[in-house]
């Protein structure tokens, strides 16, 4: 069966069922084990893979104690004498609901419209397991070769993959040492060609708490005597980035941008044009942070930027009185360049924020997640050619390479664990697909072509080794 037909007949219906499951990552569902949604998502995927198995395939849902499960699929080599291993990666856990879904749409409401499948987790990253097996099935049917392939699907990615190291260790004898890793949890600059991800940014988050009083007091009585905890927080944040430009000040959070990545950013900017910023749902009149398009590409891939993603100690507007509040807590999210070590950056961030608190306020920064980014090793000639040929064959346009702004903690770990492996990190998170936000969708035509490209790259790999 052709890949496109197989997607329509077998994959889309499975994804529709998958979207209905609120399989929120443990970080967003403390009771995930009791709630059983992650289990349901894994069982759905496992059942589908069993039903659509290729000959010789071994499938197991591996469950280490007190950890999210992992779906492990081993597929023997086909029509090749290559003894090497391909590792394909994806995840089934999801981001939480988020607000702002259009009327009639919702995170757990699958809706197929205009070639897009709306709902949480379809694109990030439920499609990956189906895409992986579909690519292998297509090769088998066409009697084209592929090397031994291990598909590893975790359920902890949106929580920083903290369960994964234990599985990688436990499963080492079965995974063996892959010489290529195909990761299907990344983005694409447009839906018109194949995109390979060359880097990912790192991330530190945590909660900055500023306490100035033991209880709230009349602001008319106290302002001018007691500093506002919000203003103290502003002073502290100004130590990290400049409020007027957003530029992060401290060198500890910056990295040298490699010249070849700067050159690729120029090419990506030419291909993407203003779509680089127009893909975001700006309010009318709002402009991007910089005019130069290549700079915008580098900003979101190789430069650090700070965002405040949550707050506490602030009542909603309708219940806010004229009170000098006792404290302000802000959730900080600092994206880091690919090559900056996140743990040492987190220590620096804490030290910078907690040093010399204004007015002796009680200031603390409690670090949450810290994840180092990832920078791809030099792509070998065969892979570069295979990726380009696949893109030309299935999209009619050459492949593009670009960094991504997000973080996949797993990648830094794999990069360190398999230093000699090649990486094809790609995905369906293109313009407006809005993973993590409202109205997330999977662009089905793109996913079909991507599946065909993955199959071609697997065949080229088998032929090359
Ligand atoms: Zn993901």
Q: What does each of the 465 residues of the chain score in pLDDT, given as a tens digit? A: 699 999 999 999 999 999 999 999 999 999 999 999 999 999 999 999 999 999 999 999 999 999 999 999 999 999 999 999 999 999 999 999 999 999 999 999 999 999 999 999 999 999 999 999 999 999 999 999 999 999 999 999 999 899 999 999 999 999 999 999 999 999 999 999 999 999 999 999 999 999 999 999 999 999 999 999 999 999 999 999 999 999 999 999 999 999 999 999 999 999 999 999 998 999 999 999 999 999 999 999 999 999 999 999 999 999 999 999 999 999 999 999 999 999 999 999 999 999 999 999 999 999 998 899 999 998 999 999 999 999 999 999 999 999 999 888 888 888 888 899 999 999 999 999 999 999 999 999 999 999 999 999 999 999 875
Contact 8, 449 (CB under 8 A): no
* Cα of 305 from ligand 1 centre, angstroms: 20
> How is the chain split among helix, strand and coil, in percent rounded to 5?
40, 25, 35
Looking at residue 106, what DSSP letter applies? Answer: B
Q: Long-range contacts for 326-329 (Cβ within 8 Å, ≥24 apart)?
A: 326/211, 326/212, 326/213, 326/214, 326/215, 326/216, 326/229, 327/209, 327/210, 327/211, 327/212, 327/213, 327/229, 328/209, 328/210, 328/229, 328/230, 328/232, 328/233, 329/207, 329/208, 329/209, 329/210
* Cα of 188 from ligand 1 centre, angstroms: 13
* Cα of 185 from ligand 1 centre, angstroms: 5
* Cα of 22 from ligand 1 centre, angstroms: 15
* Cα of 394 from ligand 1 centre, angstroms: 24
* Cα of 187 from ligand 1 centre, angstroms: 10
* Cα of 125 from ligand 1 centre, angstroms: 5
Burial of 364: CB neighbours in 10 Å, binned 0-12, 13-18, 19+: middle
Question: pTM of the full predicted structure?
Answer: 0.85
Whole-angstrom Cα distance, residue 174 to residue 463?
23
* Cα of 123 from ligand 1 centre, angstroms: 8
* Cα of 344 from ligand 1 centre, angstroms: 25
* Cα of 91 from ligand 1 centre, angstroms: 7
How many CB atoms are closer than 10 A to CB 217? 16
């Amino acid at each position: 069966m052709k890949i496109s037909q197989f997607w329509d007949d077998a994959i889309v219906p499975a994804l529709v069922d998958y979207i209905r499951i609120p399989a929120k990552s443990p970080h967003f569902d403390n009771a995930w084990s009791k709630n059983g949604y992650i289990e349901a998502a894994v069982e759905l995927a496992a059942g589908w893979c069993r039903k659509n198995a290729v000959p010789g395939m071994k499938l197991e849902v591996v469950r280490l104690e007190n950890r999210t499960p992992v779906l492990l699929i081993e597929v023997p080599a086909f029509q090749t004498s290559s003894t090497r291993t391909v590792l394909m990666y994806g995840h089934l856990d999801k981001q939480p609901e988020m607000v702002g879904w259009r009327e009639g749409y919702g995170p757990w409401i699958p809706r197929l419209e205009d070639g897009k499948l709306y709902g949480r987790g379809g694109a990030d990253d439920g499609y990956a397991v189906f895409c992986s097996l579909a690519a292998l099935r297509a090769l088998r049917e066409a009697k084209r070769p592929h090397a031994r392939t291990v598909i590893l699907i975790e359920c902890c990615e949106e929580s920083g993959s903290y369960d994964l190291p234990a599985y990688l260790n436990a499963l080492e004898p079965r995974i063996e040492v892959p010489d290529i890793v195909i990761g299907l949890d990344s983005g694409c600059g447009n839906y018109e060609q194949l995109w390979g991800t060359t880097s990912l940014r790192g991330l530190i988050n945590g909660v900055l708490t500023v306490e100035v009083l033991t209880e709230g007091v009349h602001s008319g009585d106290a302002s001018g005597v007691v500093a506002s905890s919000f203003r103290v927080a502003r002073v502290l944040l100004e130590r990290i980035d400049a409020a007027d430009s957003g530029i992060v000040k401290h060198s500890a959070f910056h990295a040298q941008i490699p010249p070849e990545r700067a050159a690729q950013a120029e090419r990506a900017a030419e291909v993407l044009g203003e779509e680089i910023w127009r893909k975001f749902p700006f309010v009318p009149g709002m402009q991007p942070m910089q005019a130069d398009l290549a700079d915008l590409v580098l900003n979101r891939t190789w430069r650090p930027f700070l965002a405040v993603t949550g707050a506490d100690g602030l009542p909603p507007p309708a219940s806010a009185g004229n009170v000098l509040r006792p404290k302000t807590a802000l959730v900080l999210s600092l994206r880091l360049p690919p090559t900056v070590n996140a743990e040492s950056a987190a220590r620096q961030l804490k030290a910078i924020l907690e040093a010399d608190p204004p007015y002796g306020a009680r200031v603390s920064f409690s670090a949450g997640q810290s994840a180092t980014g990832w920078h791809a090793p030099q792509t070998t000639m065969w892979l570069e050619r295979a990726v380009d040929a696949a893109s030309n064959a299935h999209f009619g346009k050459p492949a593009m390479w670009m960094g991504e702004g997000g973080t996949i903690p797993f990648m830094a770990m794999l990069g360190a664990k398999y230093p000699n492996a090649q990486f094809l990190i790609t995905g369906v998170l293109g313009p407006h697909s809005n993973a993590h936000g409202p109205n997330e969708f999977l662009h089905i035509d793109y996913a079909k072509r991507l599946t065909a490209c993955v199959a071609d790259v697997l065949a080229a790999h088998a032929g090359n080794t």
